[in-house]
Structure 1
Amino acid sequence: MRPLYQLNLQQQFGGGEVYTDFLCQALGRLGVPHTLLVHPDAPFWQQFNLPQTTLQAIQPDLPSLLQALASPSLLLTHGSTPPTWRRALKAAGHRLVGIAHMPLYGRDPKAFENYDGVIGVSQYVINSLHDAGVKQAYPEPWYGVAALARMQRTEMNITQHSYYDWDKRKGRDRLLSWLEPLVKPFRSRPVFRKKPGLTVGIVSRLTPIKQFPLLFEHLAPALADIPDLNIEIFGSGGYASVRDLKQALRPLAERVRFWGHQHHVADVYAQLDFLLTGLPEKEALGLNVIEAQYCNLPVLAVDALPFRETVLDGKTGYLFTDPRQDGGKHLKTLLLAIQNGTKPHPQPAQEQTHLQRFSLDTFTERVKNTLPWMENSAND
């Protein structure tokens, strides 16, 4: 087999980096030698326990990448690469396989042009590849895995952190990122205590992909009519994303609290009654959906792909009508029925066959089955 490399040049930690972690774990389990090429300004990689992975920092440019690769190599990229990179990599004799972490709907349909193969992280992503004319897509999805290291309870207090993820490329964000640490010592850091009633939580980066402001623009007025309902938000986002989300949540007033990014998500999941997802069309899979179910936390999600792939309606959570269609009436009815006991509170931990689809064992088997295709069959 050709020397195998993964390329992940992200400087911020997110779901794609969690995915990269368990792909390294799977390759290590299979005894496949591999190198992970990362950005020199992404220090979080040193915190991962990847004894079978060679970690190499490179400059984020084409000459550095070409220099790092043995020739000919198999290069797995998380997402796409610039067109000039693809042509140069192919001209140098490298085999190029992309992992599509996002659906191509609304994105560049030529994002994976010149790739030998593309692997989708869900059937929804694969459908988008087919609809974009990507013929070299692998037919089976590489579903994500619950990151079990993140699933360990610490029993530590959950305290409020900054819920802003500053974009240093923007002048306003850069200025606010300088001011925030100056104000921080004068602010109290509340400790999370679950309120009486039904607690629905968001545990996610507050990125435009999730579309939380649009979700609550249609959902908040309906949820405001539900007594003893609390919305707890664990995650951070850009200034505009947080501003717009706060605006959309105004009908719920003091029943909403922001807690910022949390490292120990298992402690967060244990304090919630349900996890709420964002809107579906820009979502690829949702690792938080998988993690929550592994922690026996049921999920509330719009009845559409990709959530139909990850949530068993009535068993590991509930799928509800898109609030852009019904103004949130279906979800309101569901939550009221749960509160009055006419709808059961799902127990995802009882659905082990479903959860096994998202285990590291199953993911490793998927990778094993795909290796010959990556080496020989993709785009042949």
Structure 2
Amino acid sequence: MTLPDLFASRSSRMKASEIRELLKLLDQPDIISFAGGIPDPALFPHEAFREAYATILSGPSANVALQYQVSEGYLPLRQWIAGEMGKLGVPCDEGNIFITSGSQQGLDYLGKLFLSPRDTALVTWPTYLGALQAFNAYEPHYERFNPTGGNMTPAAYRTVASQAGGRSKFIYLVPDFANPSGETLSRSEREGVLDLAAELDIAVIEDAPYQALRYSGKTVPPIMALDCARSGGIEKARTIYCGSFSKVLAPGLRVGWVCAPRAVIEKLVLAKQASDLHSPSINQLAIHHVAQTSYADQIAKCRTVYGARRDAILQALRSAMPRGAEWTEPEGGMFIWMTLPEHIDTVSLLARSIEEARVAFVPGHAFFADGSGRNSLRMSFTLADERAVTQGVPRFGELLAKVL
């Protein structure tokens, strides 16, 4: 008998992140990587954080920063977030805000809270890989949800969930500049999400880490804002909003949040107490300090830089890609989704691309709950410098011309 023989059955559903593995390629200087969906560290507000930590540790707040914190999170930060949610059309207060160690932890806690083994989670095809990893530990059944139409009837969803051995619990989606597709749902599509959730009487998990990163097009209200308007307020809403400071301020501090009805927040607090007690106090204070002084300017800077990189990559793709390659043109976020003819396997293509073109991307099948989508891939443009545009895209296009 070895220790792995004692592992719980759910451990078999824990898989390594292909994206985490691909990030190791960034250490090879000759690789042009479109793989990791990470912010450009050159844009981090370094001076603002240096000043924040110095101020916090040299003043009366030092003891607060180094002490245990309430599990809900640092109160002034929660109040600030509640104010920002109000600007998005979600009237709420600090009692509706819960601080997490990145929004990824929020997804894990929500999976723990809602999913019993064999319950059904409705997810997009493709969907965020990290969400699948978070939910997998709770042994759900996944069913395809298409926010643009063509879904099963509510009765059919109920039947499939019953046959899987449980019931449908929530719809999970990234409505703004989705990871991995880059697509954004229209207002009518968001209303349709709420219509289906109401008919099935299930929750909606709105994952919104890229919401602030819009470079073109018109802003669309969050699903939670539409839900609050139609239900009469956040306490009657079925939507749970997951936000993050990682994409705009600093991913390394691991500060995210959940905005939800109090009944949900109370249970998430219990999960936090059993897990890590609270997110690091000093990081919460630093995020609050920088958010108060620099958040709007930081968003503007990210929009300017990433928007220009998106435009450059899209123009390069139009010039360099052979016939047969199709891709999304996102209005914001970090990602472009490419679909190739069905006979192409992007896992094999990646190995060849690294060897011949020295270009990396993420194969698409990792984003599908059933492992399909092997002819698709994800490209991130947040680190796409001039070399990526003038050398990486053309070299990848030349490789594709050989295989399509």
Shared fold (TM-score, shorter chain, > 0.5): no
Q: With structure 2 as the length reference, what TM-score do the two structures score?
A: 0.26
Identify the structure with the greater helix proportion. Answer: 2
